[in-house]
């Protein structure tokens, strides 16, 4: 009888057990947040605490939008994140394709400097960025966040897509140009469809970073009507006095849910896009 028919080896079973433990430890806080969001306050503060809600309620979600401008924060984050993601992906795709296909003097150093810019912590450039935004008259304007998010996330998109484009064959582009396509036409019709998994993976990670960003939004957006979700959630803690944990957990669920749903729908593109972009 072969080893394959005897079942998985003890080492493989040990790997599965370790993986299951890691998944449980990583997901348990999220499960606790979801269950707390649908518990009444009396059950949340009860001792001993309960994991599963004995009484299911969605009043915390209703109270969240009643006592705060959370709907405004949600709309601001959606607009800013989608705009920054679109700008980053478009510019990053064009720049990455140029770096992978053209050999102009100094072009390589541009790519190296962009990687260095990505490694700089945002807090180091917060003060000069704030001064620049004020001088341009964009203080307390969501347009400033779109520009800043695009500038800070563009190096990541550039290097991820550049590695991906390096792995794509050039012969198909050349064949398309022989058949009458321009360089840009071959890029749109041949290169972009091949690079779609990498582009989608880059867009998802870019959206996640813009959606959860706190530093620039909390510093540059002082008017409540321009706040995004992360500083809005911190403001909500002050408004509730940190006594309504159900409302806070309901807000946390709403913040996390779009990203979780997005990752669930595009997970196959993430595995292919990030994996190929890392090794090519």
Residue 141 DSSP symbol: -
Distance from C-alpha of 261 to C-alpha of 266, rounded to nearest angstrom: 9
pLDDT at 218: 87
Res. 24 pLDDT band, cuts 50 70 90: confident
**pLDDT higher than 80, residue 266:** no
Name 154's Cβ contacts closer than 8 Å, sequence gap at least 6: 88, 91, 92, 95, 114
pLDDT exceeds 60 at position 74: yes
- Which carries the bigger pLDDT value, residue 51 or residue 192? 192
Mean pLDDT value of segment 134-146:
87
Question: Would you say residue 186 has pLDDT above 80?
Answer: yes
pLDDT digits (tens, 9 = 90+) for 30-62: 888 888 888 887 888 777 877 778 888 888 888
Using alpha carbons, list the distances in angstroms from residue 64 to 133, 239, 252, 261: 32, 11, 11, 21
CA distance 205 to 196: 14
The domain made up of 68-241+248-279 has a fold known as: MetI-like fold (1.10.3720)
pLDDT score of 90: 93
* Range among 57-61, 80-84, 101-105, 244-248 rated most confident: 80-84
Q: Contact 216/129 with Cβ under 8 angstroms?
A: yes
Distance CA 196, CA 202 (A): 10
Q: Do residues 176 and 190 make contact, with C-beta atoms less than 8 angstroms apart?
A: yes
pLDDT of residue 108: 67
pTM of the model: 0.81
pLDDT digits (tens, 9 = 90+) for 171-180: 887 788 887 7
Residue 85 · residue 210 · CB < 8 Å = yes
pLDDT exceeds 60 at position 280 = no
Report CA Rg, the chain: 24
Q: How much is the mean pLDDT over the chain?
A: 81
pLDDT at 277 over 50: no
Q: How far apart are alpha carbons 93 and 187 in whole angstroms? A: 10
Query: What pLDDT sits at residue 1?
Result: 44
Q: Which of 53-67, 235-249, 264-278 ranks highest by mean pLDDT?
A: 53-67
Tell me which range, 40-44, 199-203, 240-244, is most confidently predicted by mean pLDDT. 199-203
């Amino acid at each position: 009888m072969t080893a394959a028919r005897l079942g998985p080896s003890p080492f493989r079973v040990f790997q599965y057990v370790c993986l299951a433990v890691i998944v449980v430890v990583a997901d348990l806080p999220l499960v606790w947040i979801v269950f707390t969001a649908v518990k009444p306050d009396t059950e949340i503060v009860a001792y001993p605490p309960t994991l599963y809600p004995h009484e299911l309620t969605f009043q915390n979600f209703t109270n969240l939008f009643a006592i705060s401008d959370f709907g405004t924060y949600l709309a601001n984050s959606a607009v800013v994140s989608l705009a920054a993601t679109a700008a980053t992906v478009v510019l990053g795709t064009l720049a990455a394709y140029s770096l992978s296909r053209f050999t102009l003097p100094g072009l390589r150093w541009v790519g190296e400097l962009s990687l260095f810019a990505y490694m700089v912590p945002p807090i180091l450039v917060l003060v000069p960025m704030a001064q620049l935004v004020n001088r341009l008259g964009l203080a307390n304007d969501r347009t400033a966040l779109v520009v800043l998010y695009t500038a800070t996330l563009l190096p990541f998109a550039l290097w991820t897509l550049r590695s991906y484009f390096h792995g794509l064959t050039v012969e198909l582009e050349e064949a398309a140009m022989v058949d009458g396509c321009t360089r840009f036409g071959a890029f749109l019709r041949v290169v972009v469809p091949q690079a779609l998994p990498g582009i989608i993976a880059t867009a998802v990670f870019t959206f996640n970073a813009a959606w959860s960003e706190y530093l620039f939004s909390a510093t540059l957006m002082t008017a409540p009507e321009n706040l995004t979700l992360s500083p809005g959630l911190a403001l909500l803690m002050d408004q509730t006095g940190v006594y309504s944990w159900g409302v806070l957990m309901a807000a946390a669920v709403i913040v996390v849910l779009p990203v979780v749903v997005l990752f669930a729908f595009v997970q196959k593109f993430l595995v292919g896009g990030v994996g190929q972009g890392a090794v090519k």
